[in-house]
Structure 1
Amino acid sequence: MAYRQLPLGSLIVNPANDRHGELENETAAIAQLFATQETHMRALAKDLVAKGEVFEPPLVYPAGDAFIVADGNRRTTCLKLLASPRRAPTIELQQFFAEQRQQWIGKFPEKLECRVESDRDRVDDILYRRHTGVQGGIGQSTWTDRMKNNFVIRTGKSAGLNVADEIEKRLRAAKMAPLRRIPRSNLNRLLSAESLRNRFGISVRKGKLELIRDETDTLRALQRVASDMATRVITLDDVWDTDSKLEYIDQLDSEGVLPKVTPKLKNALSAAAAVPPVAASKPNPKPAKPIIWPHLIPHVDYGIVWPAHLHRHREIWEELQFRLELASHPNAISVLLRVLLELSTDNYISRIKLVGIHPNDKLANKVAKVAADLHTQGKIEKKYLSVINKLQHGDAILSIDTLNRYVHSPNFNVSPAHLKMLWATLADYVVLCLKA
Structure 2
Amino acid sequence: MSFRKIELSKLVINRANDRHGELENETAAISWLFSNRETHMRNLAKDILQSRGVFDPPLVSPSDDTYIVYDGNRRTTCLKLISNPRRAPTVELQQFFKKLKDDWPGAIPEKIECQIERDRDRIDEILFRRHTGSQNGVGQSMWDDRMKSNFVTRSGRGSGINVADEIEKRLKEANKLPRRKIPRSNLNRLLSAEVFRNRIGISVSKGRFSYVRNADAALKAMERVAKDLASKKVVLGDIWDVEGKANYLDSLEKEGILPTASDAIDRPSFTPRPSPSPKPPRPSPASRPRKRETLIPQIDYGIAWPGRLQRHRAIWEELQFNLILEDHPNAISALFRVLLELSVENYIDVTKPTTVHANDKLSKKMLKVAEDLNSSSVIDAKYLSELKKAQHAEEIISVDTLHRYVHSPNFTPSPDHLRAIWDSIDEFLTHCLKA
- Counterpart-to-counterpart distance in 1, 2:277 and 2:383: 43
Partner of 2:129: 129
Equivalent positions of 1:135-150 (< 5 A) are 135-150=135-150
**RMSD, matched Cα:** 2.0
Counterpart for residue 169 of structure 2: 169
Q: Secondary structure at the match of 1:129?
A: helix
Letter in 1 for 2:402: L
Aligned-partner Cα distance in 1 for 2:195–2:339: 21
Residues 110-148 of structure 1 show CA distances to partners (whole Å, capped at 9, x for unaligned) of 011100001111111110111111111111000000000
Question: Is the CA contact 2:152–2:159 (under 8 Å) kept in the aligned structure 1?
Answer: no
Shift of 1:359: 3.8
Q: What is the match of residue 392 of structure 2?
A: 393
Q: CA deviation at 1:262?
A: 3.6
Shift of 1:362: 2.4
Cα distance, 1:18 vs. partner? 0.4
C-alpha distance in 2 between matches for 1:342 and 1:348: 10
Q: 1:263 to 1:302 in 2, by over 3 A?
A: farther
Partner of 1:425: 424
Q: Deviations over 1:334-387 (max 9, x none)?
A: 111001001001101111123354444322222122222222222222332232
For 1:309 and 1:67, the matched residues in 2 are separated by 22
Residue 188 of structure 1 pairs with residue 191 of structure 2: no
Question: Separation in 1 of the partners of 2:130 and 2:433?
Answer: 33
- Say whether the 8 Å CA contact 2:217–2:263 is kept in structure 1: no
CA distance in 2, matches of 1:359, 1:85: 40
What is the CA–CA distance in structure 2 between the aligned matches of 1:376 and 1:281, rounded to whole Å? 46
Partner in structure 2 of residue 314 of structure 1: 313
Structure 1 residue aligned with 2:295: 296
Q: Which stretch shifts more, 230-239 or 336-345?
A: 230-239
Q: 2:103: which partner in 1?
A: 103
* Residue range with higher mean Cα deviation, 355-364 or 123-132: 355-364
2:8 maps to: 8
1:67-86 per-position Cα deviation (integer Å, ceiling 9, x unaligned): 00000001111111111111
**Aligned residue identity for 2:257:** V
AA aligned to 2:364 is N
Please give the alpha-carbon distance, in whole angstroms, between the structure 2 residues aligned to 1:281 and 1:420: 35
Counterpart AA for 1:152:
V
Greater CA drift, 104-113 or 228-237: 228-237
1:119 is matched with 119
SS of aligned partner of 2:104 = coil
CA distance in 1, matches of 2:224, 2:263: 21
Name the structure 2 match of 1:202: 202
Deviations 1:148-191 (A, max 9, x none): 00000000011611111111111111111122221111111111
Q: In 1, are the aligned partners of 2:61 and 2:118 still within 8 Å (CA)?
A: yes
**Matches for 1:68-87 after TM superposition, within 5 Å:** 68-87=68-87
| Match of residue 327 from structure 2 | 328
Give, in whole Å, the separation in 1 of the partners of 2:75 and 2:395.
Answer: 54
CA shift for structure 1 position 319: 1.2
Q: Which SS does the other structure have where 1:391 is aligned?
A: helix
Separation of aligned partners in 2, 1:341 and 1:226: 38
* Shift, 1:53, TM fit: 1.0
Gaps of 5+ in 1: none
Q: Report the counterpart of residue 216 of structure 2 in structure 1.
A: 216
Distance 1:431 1:22 in 2: 19
Find the counterpart in structure 1 of residue 365 from structure 2.
366
Question: 2:94 aligns to what?
Answer: 94
SS of the residue corresponding to residue 146 of structure 1 reads helix
Q: 1:372 to 1:150 in 2, by over 3 A?
A: same
